Structure 1
Amino acid sequence: MKLRKTHSIAAFLVFLFSILLLPPPSYALIATVKGIVSKVSDGDTLHVITEKGKDLKIKLYGCDAPEIEKRNKRTGQITIPGQPYSEEAKQALKKMIYKKRVRVDIIDIGRHHWMASLIWLKKRCINLEMVREGYAEAYRERLKQPYYAEFSYTEQQAKFRKKGIWGLSNYERPSEFRKRLRIRGS
């Protein structure tokens, strides 16, 4: 019990100091829109129909969920295998936000026209919830301040509690899985 308490205190202090010692954020939100979630593709990708009727493809900013299997649309055969816990991550995201009205804070636009965004359901940051519950890892390679510290801290807590993907004995980071199978980056 003492080890758990010490670990929690140390993690909290790292989080606190990282916030206090960091430079101010060097980004600006591109836009904020509201809409209804019309589709959940996997544990970190969804579609939102905005109030103006535009269909936006959204990637959860700061999250990288296990890769879901890919199938040939014509034959139905699996072309790329999925990772363990990918279907659970997709279903968790779907349960949280499918057909619900959300706020989308767009942070970046990718080269394939997806929008890296924070998704808010009332005052809940869905991105952080996915990391907190172990359905996705913090995508450190793409995280910027002021989010890096909070996402990293949240991931450390999920790891410590062995939540979701962190309870798997053979967990492989989605980025490593894509690299190994030479899948185009998400």
Structure 2
Amino acid sequence: MLASLHVLPALAASELTGQVVGITDGDTLTLLTPDRRQTRVRLAEIDTPERRQPYGSRAREALADLAFQRRVRVVVEDTDRYGRSVGRVYAGARDVNAEMVRRGAAWVYDRYNHDSRLPALEAEARAARRGLWALPEAERMPPWEWRRRAKAEREVEPGPRRGAPG
């Protein structure tokens, strides 16, 4: 019974193909489809450091190395709240999402992960101190924690005082 439930999301998935024409950050790219539409794609099941976070620019470079200006296929799993297609990206036979984890450029996003291979790839990257895992431990904050902390800091910052010069 559980095996048949696992197949249902795959049946509901759609596919996009095209050329990667933009890299926003380590887990978001822009795809130009054959009908000349630009579609933003968020890589499913992984999360990379934010641009202002340690390793953020290198995660972006890793995704560019794997996908920029390449023809890719995206197995779309969902659409996120920002309107991006969320999916698994393939450049030829290479699973770009898994390769980002293997290179140490991404965390497995446990909250959304359904791929049993990804935690093992992350453990391998950690053990080999690849990518972000070579950073000092104090600089290795999962992006979801970094975003939560940044949001909390924004919420406690006082706004401009009434009557203050400004």
Give the Cα–Cα distance (whole angstroms) in 2 for the partners of residues 55 and 158 of structure 1. 33
AA aligned opposite 2:130: K
AA aligned opposite 1:159: R
Give the Cα–Cα distance (whole angstroms) in 1 for the partners of residues 22 and 84 of structure 2. 14
Q: Compute the displacement of 1:156 (Å).
A: 1.1
Q: 1:91 maps to what in 2?
A: 61
The answer to whether residue 83 in structure 2 is matched with residue 113 in structure 1 is yes
Matching of residues 17-96 of structure 1 within 5 Å:
23-24=3-4, 25=6, 26-28=8-10, 29-68=12-51, 82-96=52-66
Give the Cα–Cα distance (whole angstroms) in 2 for the partners of residues 52 and 156 of structure 1. 40
* Match among 133, 146, 150 for residue 177 of structure 1: 146
Give the Cα–Cα distance (whole angstroms) in 2 for the partners of residues 155 and 116 of structure 1. 20
Give the Cα–Cα distance (whole angstroms) in 1 for the partners of residues 100 and 32 of structure 2. 21
Provide structure 1 residue ranges, at least 5 long, that are not aligned to the other structure: 1-21, 69-81
Give the Cα–Cα distance (whole angstroms) in 1 for the partners of residues 149 and 3 of structure 2. 35
Q: 2:157 maps to what in 1?
A: none
Query: Percent identity at matched positions?
Result: 30
Instruction: Tell me how large the CA RMSD over aligned residues is.
Output: 1.4
Q: Which runs of 4+ in 1 moved over 2 A?
A: none
Q: Secondary structure at the match of 1:90?
A: helix
Deviations 1:1-47 (A, max 9, x none): xxxxxxxxxxxxxxxxxxxxx74514134211210001001000100
Give the Cα–Cα distance (whole angstroms) in 2 for the partners of residues 119 and 48 of structure 1. 11
> What is the TM-score of this pair, normalised by structure 1?
0.75
Q: 2:124 maps to what in 1?
A: 157
Q: Secondary structure at the match of 2:66?
A: helix
Q: Compute the displacement of 1:54 (Å).
A: 1.6
Whose relative contact order is higher, 1 or 2, with alpha carbons under 8 Å and at least 6 apart?
Answer: 1
Give the Cα–Cα distance (whole angstroms) in 1 for the partners of residues 94 and 66 of structure 2. 10
Give the Cα–Cα distance (whole angstroms) in 1 for the partners of residues 85 and 118 of structure 2. 19
Q: Secondary structure at the match of 1:155?
A: helix
AA aligned opposite 1:33: L
> What is the TM-score of this pair, normalised by structure 2?
0.83
Q: Compute the displacement of 1:165 (Å).
A: 1.1
Provide structure 2 residue ranges, at least 5 long, that are not aligned to the other structure: 153-166
* Larger Rg over CA atoms: 2
Q: 1:166 maps to what in 2?
A: 133
Q: Secondary structure at the match of 2:98?
A: helix
Give the Cα–Cα distance (whole angstroms) in 2 for the partners of residues 164 and 124 of structure 1. 19
